[in-house]
Amino acid sequence: MDFIDLKTQQAAIKPELDRRIAAVLAHGQYIMGPEVKELEERLQEYTGAKHCITVASGTEALLISLMALGIKLGDEVITTPFTFVATAEVIVLLGATPVFVDIEADTCNIDVSKIEGAITPKTKAIMPVSLYGQPADMEEINAIAARHGSIQVIEDACQSFGATYKGKKSCNLSTIGCTSFFPSKPLGCYGDGGAVFTSDDEIAQACREIRVHGQSKRYVHTRIGVGGRMDTIQCAVVLAKLERFAWEVEQRKTIGERYNALLDQAGIQRVQQRGDRTSVFAQYTVFVEEREAVQAALQKEGIPTAVHYPIPLHEQPAYQRLCQNCNTPFSASVAKRVMSVPMGADLREEDQRLIVNAIYL
């Protein structure tokens, strides 16, 4: 059993994949070729955001977004310590300070009731993470930001492309949404890729310029930028994957809900979903005590597992110094108990039953 089965998916879309890649090899525009714009238009349509700017990775999407907002030395950005390191890394790279707010123990998303207490005059942005594929409580976060004037909200939607919140698509739930096309994400390519979404014309223009070295016209550098483009060939791969994506999102939902039912029946604790949103289950995650023993037992049955994430950022060697006053007990305790099991649109029901039984025994 694979942790994420990308082979079945590839077999299903092979003709379209071959056709798309052959087209890029034929026209030879490997950087900013026609597939880049085509993908951006398709993703705008999918999310409902006015602008999509494809970039080199999810990390680059987050970095470019913060740069477009002018985040700089001395600024503070509120986020959670229970995430992939990239979320906080980009804040630190710009000389700003991540301010860690704890998560809800059941959804593992930021606890919105604790955000207001972390706001200071230096707060410039809130960066919630839609962890495991389920959007955070974005409406409430937007409302908190609006109450405090000029605070912007960036959704780290690197795991949640395809998810919804109150009927709206993830990536289009706040001023900016950022996603990743890392191969194992719900919508992946065959290398690195990512995208920034916004409906703000000025922010979109800033992101487009920052993506190409702050260039407004050829060799005119209006601002400081990065080399942050997504390859044409990777855009072609994502275009091919879109063929089946709507079906995959539905499958993920069905499979996630089946896991929920099987685990509840077996009395095994799991990450919860709120009724006003749908998850794409980028990871399917349960809570176990004695994690190493459970992982070893599953390994024996040929079932791979993973831990997202074993060490919260406030305990990481490179980030500890930022956390003199961190009050993030749930992030610390949950990190010791989470375990992700195989998940994907092609996961078979019999394998799900096998997995749940193996955890139970």
Ligand X SMILES: *Cc1c(COP(=O)(O)O)cnc(C)c1O
Binding site for ligand X (CB under 6 A): 57-59, 83-84, 86-87, 129, 156, 158-159, 180, 182, 192, 194
Q: Which is nearer to ligand X, 91 or 303 (CB)?
A: 91
| Shortest spacing between CB 260 and ligand X, in angstroms | 22
Q: Which is nearer to ligand X, 253 or 308 (CB)?
A: 308
Q: Which is nearer to ligand X, 87 or 331 (CB)?
A: 87
- Closest of 157, 226, 219, 164 to residue 194, by C-alpha: 157
Q: Which is nearer to ligand X, 182 or 281 (CB)?
A: 182
| Shortest spacing between CB 182 and ligand X, in angstroms | 4
CA–CA gap between residue 136 and residue 274 (Å, rounded): 9
| Shortest spacing between CB 186 and ligand X, in angstroms | 10
Opening angle at CA 202, ends 199 and 204, nearest 5: 55
- Closest of 252, 249, 253, 267 to residue 356, by C-alpha: 267
Opening angle at CA 158, ends 107 and 175, nearest 5: 90
Q: Which is nearer to ligand X, 58 or 294 (CB)?
A: 58
| Shortest spacing between CB 187 and ligand X, in angstroms | 11
Token match 């855009």: residue?
Answer: 235
Q: Which is nearer to ligand X, 194 or 352 (CB)?
A: 194
| Shortest spacing between CB 355 and ligand X, in angstroms | 22
CA–CA gap between residue 172 and residue 178 (Å, rounded): 9
- The CB-nearest residue to ligand X is 58
| Shortest spacing between CB 130 and ligand X, in angstroms | 8
Under 8 Å CB-to-CB from 175, ≥6 apart: which residues? 152, 153, 154, 198, 200, 203
Under 8 Å CB-to-CB from 302, ≥6 apart: which residues? 1
Tell me if 334 sits within 8 A of 103, measured CB to CB.
Answer: yes
Q: Which is nearer to ligand X, 226 or 268 (CB)?
A: 226
| Shortest spacing between CB 160 and ligand X, in angstroms | 9
CA–CA gap between residue 157 and residue 134 (Å, rounded): 9
Phi and psi at residue 332, in whole multiples of 5°?
Answer: -65, -45
First to last CA, the chain: 19
